[in-house]
A and B are shown apart, each in its own frame.
Chain A
Amino acid sequence: MKIFKFAFGAMLFVFASSFAQNDIKPERKPGHTNQNKFKQLYDEFATPNMFRTGSGAPGPAYYQQQADYKMDIEIDDVNARLYGQETITYTNNSPDELTYLWVQLDQNMRAKDSKTPLINSSGIGPATSASRAARSYLKEPFDGGFNIEYVKDTNNKDLPHTINRTMMRVELPKPMKTGDQFSFKIKWWYNINDHVRDGGRSGYEYFEENDNRIYVMAQFYPRMAVYNDVEGWQNSQFWGRDEFALPFGNFDVNITVPADHILDGTGYLTNREEVYTKKMMERYNKAKTSYDKPVMIVTEDEARKTEKSKSTKKKTWKLSAQMVRDFGFATSRKFIWDMMAVKIGDKDVMAVSMYSKEGNPLWEQWSTRTVASTLKSYSRMTFDYPYHKAISVHAPMGMEYPMICYNFGRPDENGNYSDRTKYGMISVIIHEVGHNFFPMIVNSDERQWTWMDEGLNTFVQYIAEQDFGEWNPTALSPGHDKYPSRRGPAKNIVRYMGGDQDFIAPIMTKGLNTYQFGSNAYSKPATGLNILRETIMGRDLFDYAFKEYARRWMFKHPTPEDFFRTMEDASAVDLDWFWRGWFYTTDYTDIGIKEVKKFAVTNNPNENGKKLAERYNMDPNALVYFIGEGEEGYEDALNSASTMEDFATVKEYIMDNFTPEQQKNMKKTPKYFYQVTFDKPGGLVMPLIVEYKYSDGSKEKITYPAQIWRLNDKEVSRAIATDKEIVSITVDPDLETADIDTSNNSWPREVQESDFDKFKNQIKN
């Protein structure tokens, strides 16, 4: 033991110097409300109710709506158009009576009259490229909005409806009561966007060679909005950034495409025998039991041959999905296709990849293996992946839908790729496949809270990346012994946390209105969870609570409070202070060492000590005195003292109050006494992690819980008594708290070289 515990309760140990008399009365300050950083979040959190409980679980009256779809879709590959007809069956499980429904028309974001371009500020620079100028100022805007041909009930009677940009209100013939179902039909078409040229989370990529397209489709159909106890109708417009809020339901979708296309999407393929060749069927059956390497369903050679011609025939692929919140599919004659089974719990899941020759050799090597690895990691951290497959499609974007996602990562024309391309591809696949868990199954409201899916997903992504590196060492580049994750470790967020406050928003901000979207909605929440797991709660408590949140809200719609409350409810760790600081403010961590004072112990009081004894009317001989470095008598005391036990008062006290047995087991008595004052220039509360280094070379790390700051948010002191001399003290030695300024973290103060000088010296050598 190095730190002596002050166990002698009755004895009066006084730090003589800390009792300086202060007779000047301060000016009376005005009163205040509870500003304590540990104040519970009663004001910020919604009041628990029958829908959502104080524990963070769904309440006894929790409900969610259901939307089931039957669709017939056709893609016109010549004109790049999508034609669709759907019957939506909506079930009102809410206790409320509904007089209208809201349907989302996301593609209207690309309508000619879309207001999306109008909400971004723009300026005219002194020069711009001719092609950009032409696109910005001359070109007729692309019209990619929905053309709604009709909205009818099942008796083919037109339903009155009103389109407000990306939202459509459909009037119900009669109000829907609790438990009522209502079916209606919509017919539409739209021009599919080139997502490489015009952006978007859906669309086609065009290949000049052989005049081909790869379609990665989503938001292609009018989709029901969410109605719930928190928002009523979530009909906040789609501006292009904030993603989606969608109810669960069942889908039966028939998709007609050119006969030479390969297609896969959300759900079970119900007419596999019709659309597969015999050879494909054989390979598919083989893939069902291939757990260690992907089986090619369509080989690169076959795909290269197919993409050279165009079939004029059509083929219809039939997909059926249960309990999904959305539907996506990818189709092209360019696709290479491989599959591999992966065991999740006692179930087989198929890991699938679709890519064109442009993705190889990277894709055939790592895509499907990454999918399988991701499903294992996420299932361990949450719940067993409940769907039967997960598909990764090669497309220059990163976007997720149930069971299917679109991922970038393309070698150059010669098949060469950089480390950045390889790791970028693996990371994006892990990320997008991971989105199956958040928000496809733990179905949070992305339109309002980007961080709830992105932050949680990015957090698990970090764990899954580390797993992937461990399980697939051959995927790592030479010199890497673990996967080079970019987000997760606390030190990686310092640059953002210490940046200009003018360009930082709290995490609890609607995604559309945040600055530095990636840092705000992805990195910061993910890092916060990582700090909770590694430093504040520990892995066992954290993992149990995180899993409990996922389990409670699987196939349901959680809110931020449901997450915050569950994490505390399942762990008995009060985290309101953490949520408040990390999620509700833009405060940053900065903790330092303000002062270290050494003391010598003596039973000879100096003048200060005598006065003190007099003031408290105590026998000066019954006290032990600590004299601070630099004060009168310090040197004498230091030189004369051997250990504290030598003083008659202490000895007497010990002999009177402890049995000989206890005395024998008493720890070594201290010789060195310190008062260490820590200050906190940063607004964030964090555990105070301190490493003490002693003259004999030994080290001791003590973590004072965050609550040490509860009574004084600016400064706290600790008295240290030890039998060995302290030679240095470091705050947060392992960079666990995202401290933005480490120049004040050590004693004696280390003169830190500036980043500039560090670099300059480095290149000199």
Chain B
Amino acid sequence: MKSTYLILTLIIGLLLSSSNTKHEYYVSVTNIEYAKEQQSVQIISQIFIDDFESLIRQRYDETITLAEADEPAIVDEYMKRYLEDKLKIKINEKSYEFNFLGKEYKEDITYCYLEIENIKDIKSISVINRILFDILPDQQNIVRLKMLDKNKSFLLIPENDECMLNFN
């Protein structure tokens, strides 16, 4: 492969072939922080634009192109729907839904901003992250938890898609 540039359609199912793909090391990064004063859990998920585009095309709408001036508003809906489906967060052993605040594109990455409000205290947090596992068998998801003086990263794969932190 060269130029690490890529051909979207190609990625899919190419788990054994190592060439021609843009970023062979399929990985998303999700940062989760707790802002205590604001009582808010703040989440930024970083997903390669071409992966996300390919996902949305396969799952929802073939005509979508991301990061264009005329990107339809429905894209946010798709992203929200997908993330709600694939990113599950439990705090103090209770499941929470997050607000999808929006997304922005920087270079080749989509940054999705999610928030869970009214969290007064955190004793434990667990995260299931299955982002892109449905279309990219080699996908790996890094989850970084930064809260209450702890700062820990986890690498999640399809066979091990959950991580947790306890604060005692």
Binding site for B on A (CB under 8 A): 116-117, 120, 122-129, 131-132, 135-136, 195-196, 198-201, 239-241, 243, 396-400, 408, 418-420, 424, 427-428, 431-432, 435, 454, 486, 492, 495, 499-500, 502-503, 515-518, 522, 754-756, 759-760, 763
Contacts and interface: CB of A to CB of B under 8 A. Distances in A.
24 contacts: A117-B16, A123-B157, A123-B159, A126-B158, A136-B15, A199-B16, A199-B18, A200-B20, A396-B10, A397-B19, A398-B2, A399-B20, A418-B65, A420-B65, A420-B67, A420-B68, A486-B107, A492-B107, A516-B27, A517-B1, A517-B25, A518-B25, A763-B101, A763-B102
Contact of B17 (A199, A243, A399, A522): A199
Residue among A136, A522, A756 with the highest chain B CB neighbour number at 10 A? A756
A136 B15 CA distance: 9
B44 interface: yes
Given A398-B5, A400-B2, A492-B107, 16 more contacts: A120-B15, A125-B133, A125-B159, A127-B134, A201-B19, A241-B1, A398-B4, A418-B65, A431-B2, A495-B109, A500-B142, A502-B153, A516-B27, A518-B22, A518-B24, A756-B44
A500 B153 contact: yes
Range, interface on chain B: 35 or more
A397 B22 CA distance: 10
B23 A517 contact: yes
B108 A486 contact: yes
Nearest to B40: A756
Contacts of B17: 198-200, 240
A760 B20 contact: no
B163 to A, nearest CB: 14
A123 B2 CA distance: 27
Q: State the majority secondary structure of interface residues on B.
A: loop
Tell which of B9, B33, B113, B134 has the most Cβ of chain A within 10 Å: B113
B3 interface: yes
Contacts of B72: none
Contacts of A435: 2
B3 A428 contact: yes
Contacts of B20: 195, 199-201, 396-399
A496 to B, nearest CB: 11
Sorted nearest first, the 5 A-B pairs with minimum C-beta distance are: A199-B17, A518-B4, A125-B158, A398-B3, A240-B18
A321 B21 CA distance: 30
Contacts of A397: 1-2, 7, 19-20
Contacts of A756: 33, 35, 42, 44, 113, 115
Contacts of B65: 418, 420
Interface string B61-96: 000010111000000000000000000000000000
Contacts of B15: 120, 122, 136
Contacts of B49: 420
Contacts of A760: 101, 113, 115
B13 A135 contact: yes
A116 B18 CA distance: 9
B14 interface: yes
A754 B42 contact: yes
